[in-house]
Structure 1
């Protein structure tokens, strides 16, 4: 929960008909109190977001700051919603005999790669230190993988088998999906959806954010269907590339991965759930090629350790 705004305190030297907060900020005459408080709350949240949306000082890739808007949805509540949704998904897969056992060689392969990447995540989001990371493999022909807020990862067997992914390529997929969670792209998208759907009534919600948080929790089922922006995808590509390189995975695999994705798109449009939200294309590959040299030294250093 964010702190409530300070109580209203009138000042005699302000224009007639206005009202103000303790910091002296005045609402124009005739402005409804709730809307002015909402605006003040939004500005306060924006300031806090600016202070917290920093990048690691040592980052080799160039990505933008996170959006201020994401603070409209409390991270704790979204992570709880994601954990519940993830548990339901795994239970459904288990009941259908599609959850690959933890002792399976492919599941252990994913877990091994995840354990290599996880130590390099907290620099991008301090909350990741508290996340209970989890990795699951689901038997499905779909080419798909995801990481939900809070570090809940799932791969479908289709993405590994159909694309014949190497460990390096799996690390690039996993790093990319981790980056979406670390950079809070789902949180930002849900905040945008929340703000749009609530409209003017958001003014009252911003005072405490409790109702907005509950609304986000009710949107937990949308987490798997969110479509990220082009900027989000580029952001996740580059952050994931660096995380994987620091873990000792060859960054050139990001290029071969998306070349395989592009070939899969051209040969078969069925079962490509991953590509419906992660479009491939020449520009994406060129951007990765431009950034591979930036992280190659990190990869080589990791291999020497």
Structure 2
């Protein structure tokens, strides 16, 4: 077990010169997003990172005991870590603490179409998302960049802070209602329902922001941002029974594709620069699935 994590961290070491270059590039060009939400300040700095590290370790240990943790010499593990190594220098400028994270990448044997990056840089992919979607390297980079962006933008702490604030407001409203002679429990129930819908909206916003930041990171590392369109078209084929947009924590696929396309003018020049080619000479992105049209 220690060998897996030690090698994973070693493979993801980033040089100081690489970080300086990434910081300079990020400050001059690429996507622009607002400041991180102040709601994350309601949670002690770094608190979620410690919890995430423990949870990640437990998950890996459980997977290993079930022979579901891919070994270091697994070709897909090698592939995932190589892609992460390219992405991480361009991820660090988005969060000052990220340079001190103990980054890890592991692969879990499961049919789940899922991947995540916990606070602190703990990345996991499931074989289901790689196999079911037949992910190319560019598409893996889009998924990984997106998940890394969640950690960089501290969306977990933001959601926890918003939950704390929402609970305080609901309880305050219930107490005020009781003071006025109304049924506090009914008010609390209605308030909780409204807060849940609001949190879904917040979560969709986080997803959109992670898409944008992830595209920027992937493009700078030399991965084609247009793979994001093909990725979500593939996802549409395997998620035909997804919940309606307003009850989902993820934006609808068509909305997501449109948002990705909207940022092509910002990220495609980064990709062309990383590939050292003229933007106009880039060929279309070709999916490895015949039903997915070329993305221009």
TM-score normalised by the chain length of structure 2: 0.70
CA distance 1:160–1:79, shift in 2 (3 Å): same
Aligned twin of 1:283: 255
Which of residues 21, 31, 56 in structure 2 aligns to 1:61? 31
Distance 1:196 1:57 in 2: 35
Aligned twin of 1:183: 153
Q: Which has the larger radius of gyration?
A: 1
Distance 2:237 2:93 in 1: 34
Please state how far the C-alpha of 1:198 moved relative to its aligned partner.
Answer: 5.8
Structure with more of its chain in helix, by fraction? 2
Asked if residue 303 in structure 1 is aligned to residue 268 in structure 2, the reply is no
Structure 1 unaligned blocks of 5 or more: 1-55, 203-225, 270-275
Distance 1:70 1:147 in 2: 17
CA distance 1:59–1:126, shift in 2 (3 Å): farther
Q: Which moved more, 1:227-236 or 1:88-97?
A: 227-236
CA distance 1:198–1:145, shift in 2 (3 Å): same
Distance 2:168 2:73 in 1: 46
CA RMSD, 1 decimal: 2.4
Checking the alignment, whether the CA contact within 8 Å between 1:138 and 1:155 is kept in structure 2 is yes
Checking the alignment, whether the CA contact within 8 Å between 1:262 and 1:280 is kept in structure 2 is no
TM-score normalised by the chain length of structure 1: 0.68
Aligned twin of 1:82: 52
Aligned twin of 2:108: 138
Asked if residue 229 in structure 1 is aligned to residue 203 in structure 2, the reply is yes
Asked if residue 253 in structure 1 is aligned to residue 223 in structure 2, the reply is no
Higher RCO, Cα 8 Å, sep 6+: 1
> Aligned to 1:111, what secondary structure does the other structure show?
helix
> Aligned to 1:153, what secondary structure does the other structure show?
strand
Distance 1:177 1:167 in 2: 15
Distance 2:28 2:271 in 1: 14
CA distance 1:174–1:256, shift in 2 (3 Å): same
Please state how far the C-alpha of 1:304 moved relative to its aligned partner.
Answer: 2.3
Distance 2:265 2:134 in 1: 25
Distance 1:299 1:101 in 2: 32
CA distance 1:277–1:109, shift in 2 (3 Å): farther
Checking the alignment, whether the CA contact within 8 Å between 2:146 and 2:211 is kept in structure 1 is yes
Structure 2 unaligned blocks of 5 or more: 1-25, 173-198, 243-247, 278-296
Checking the alignment, whether the CA contact within 8 Å between 2:115 and 2:123 is kept in structure 1 is yes
